[in-house]
Amino acid sequence: RRNERNIKNMLRSRLAADIFRLLEQAGALGREMGVSVYAVGGFVRDILLDRPNLDIDLVVEGDGIEFAQVLSRKLGGRIRMHKKFQTAVVILPDGQKVDVATARLEYYQYPTALPTVELSSIKMDLYRRDFSINALAVRLSPDQFGNLVDFFSAQKDIKERNIRVLHSLSFVEDPTRILRAIRFEQRFNFRMDRQTERLIKNALNLNLFQKLSGGRLFHELYLIMEEKEVLACFRRMDSFNLLQVLHPLLKLSDQLESILSEVERVLNWYRLLYLEPNVLSWKVFMLGLASSLDDAQFQILMRRLNFSDKDERYFLAVREGLAETIQQLHQWQGRAGSLSELFFILDPLPLESILYLMARSQKEEMRRHISLFLTQLKTQKVSVTGKDLKAMRLSPGPVYSEVLRTLHAAMIDGKAVDRNSQLILAGELVARIKAREAADQVQEVSP
């Protein structure tokens, strides 16, 4: 093909050396096996955008499964095959995953009147994808390594920051793409073109969204709620009346908007604090989204999204627990309670509820206390352990956790901060318990 831009140098400079090497190996293997191999999709898009992307997607013009098997053997990896879809995942020894798909013409019998015979299989494979920016491929064969295959002006769309579908039935074929379009808009700060926006409106007028299964709908919503610009996505969804599709009462009122914006702020704060946060953002956003719904309405929303019974119970329990915690915190503040009391109020709650509670707190002081809990109280550990108590000959039983809890409280309240003072306090507590036990025994034996 003429006019193919070569991005080999870009690949070399923007990819980790081992990934670059892997692409070369895949291309060389393709030549040995007599098949063309391409890197495709989001992986290529993100190279051009210079954004990290850990998913490698390959497409093979030929038998993708066989190619994946040989590739896996050569690189000492494992393989998971989906014969029905002619796809496979190769898992390399270092954990890196490589998705391999088969590009074959006969799979894509499109309703759009296209002269399929004129299309190569890679072109057909790319044509069935969602947006032009995701429909780029890079040739990996050694003689053409790095040649960018751009049938649908994707480079222009990337330059002009456009989200654009490849054909007018894209959303009819897959309505989840509506949410993907919104997600990519906000993530890359791109914009749908007018045609794409019009096609979304048409698809919504045809109620195509209502036909989506709860599982797929939730998955897309989940992906949105794990993005960085969640509120912006919700705003955009609301502009298409898409929140109402989730639940008829969901609307981005000023109040809901300010709640979600606080949720976003707290989550960003928490993420900044911990490099690898183990927080599930989607759960906090889900609580925020449901804030204007009562339990019965929330349950309808969760059923629409095909939540498991377990998840449903979890969310309802969290909401109930939150109401209780808010009350406890107010009382605690009223009586100027100790830090250890604060600790024992918040400690049983899942992290997601605590962050949501923080987002919903109106008073600055309350936020400060919750922040103190998360950043300091939660991480302090008592250095005296059950083993130490055993060495003090405390007889086994529930008294162990009582003593450790008392030590924990003392530590938080600054009364026994180091191991030494904790050991002294533990000794006193154990002595007292032993004395109590001895007294009980005397009572038992005396008539």
Binding site for ligand CTP (CB under 6 A): 41-42, 55, 129-130, 134, 174, 176-177, 180
> Residue 130 or residue 388: which is nearer to ligand CTP going by CB?
130
Least spacing, CB of residue 52 vs ligand CTP, in Å: 10
Least spacing, CB of residue 352 vs ligand CTP, in Å: 22
Contact partners, residue 153, CB within 8 Å, separation at least 6: 132
Cβ atoms within 10 Å, residue 428 = 10
> Residue 177 or residue 319: which is nearer to ligand CTP going by CB?
177
> Residue 131 or residue 343: which is nearer to ligand CTP going by CB?
131
> Residue 36 or residue 134: which is nearer to ligand CTP going by CB?
134
> Residue 174 or residue 257: which is nearer to ligand CTP going by CB?
174
Structure tokens that stand for 22 in this block: 């892997």
Q: Is 164 exposed, middle or buried (0-12, 13-18, 19+ CB in 10 A)?
A: buried
Least spacing, CB of residue 282 vs ligand CTP, in Å: 14
> Residue 26 or residue 163: which is nearer to ligand CTP going by CB?
163
> Residue 74 or residue 97: which is nearer to ligand CTP going by CB?
97
Asked if 65 contacts 86 with a C-beta cutoff of 8 angstroms, the reply is yes
Least spacing, CB of residue 103 vs ligand CTP, in Å: 13
Least spacing, CB of residue 75 vs ligand CTP, in Å: 22
Least spacing, CB of residue 174 vs ligand CTP, in Å: 5
> Residue 111 or residue 334: which is nearer to ligand CTP going by CB?
111
C-alpha to C-alpha distance for 389 and 391, rounded to whole angstroms: 5
DSSP string, 317-342: HHHHHHHHHHHHHHHHHHTT--HHHH
> Residue 137 or residue 256: which is nearer to ligand CTP going by CB?
137
Reduced to 3 states (helix: H, G, I; strand: E, B; else coil), residue 230 is helix
Least spacing, CB of residue 255 vs ligand CTP, in Å: 30
Size (the chain), residues: 447
Least spacing, CB of residue 125 vs ligand CTP, in Å: 9
- CB under 8 Å, gap of 24 or more: what pairs does 417-424 form? 418/383, 419/383, 419/384, 422/382, 422/383, 422/384, 423/384, 423/388
Tokens 């003090």 belong to residue: 392
Contact partners, residue 131, CB within 8 Å, separation at least 6: 157, 163, 164, 165, 166, 177, 180, 181, 184, 196
Least spacing, CB of residue 200 vs ligand CTP, in Å: 14
Tokens 């019998």 belong to residue: 109
**Angle 281-289/309-334 helices, nearest 10 degrees?**
80
Structure tokens that stand for 51 in this block: 């954004």
Least spacing, CB of residue 57 vs ligand CTP, in Å: 6
> Residue 42 or residue 321: which is nearer to ligand CTP going by CB?
42
> Residue 167 or residue 191: which is nearer to ligand CTP going by CB?
167
Least spacing, CB of residue 140 vs ligand CTP, in Å: 17
C-alpha to C-alpha distance for 286 and 260, rounded to whole angstroms: 10
- CB under 8 Å, gap of 24 or more: what pairs does 9-15 form? 9/146, 10/47, 10/48, 10/146, 11/47, 11/138, 11/146, 14/47, 14/50, 15/47
Q: Give the nearest residue (CB) to ligand CTP.
A: 42
Least spacing, CB of residue 266 vs ligand CTP, in Å: 24
User: Nearest-5° angle of CA 172, CA 176, CA 180?
Assistant: 120
> Residue 66 or residue 174: which is nearer to ligand CTP going by CB?
174
DSSP state of 383: S
In the chain, count H helices and then E strands.
22, 9
Structure tokens that stand for 120 in this block: 């190569």
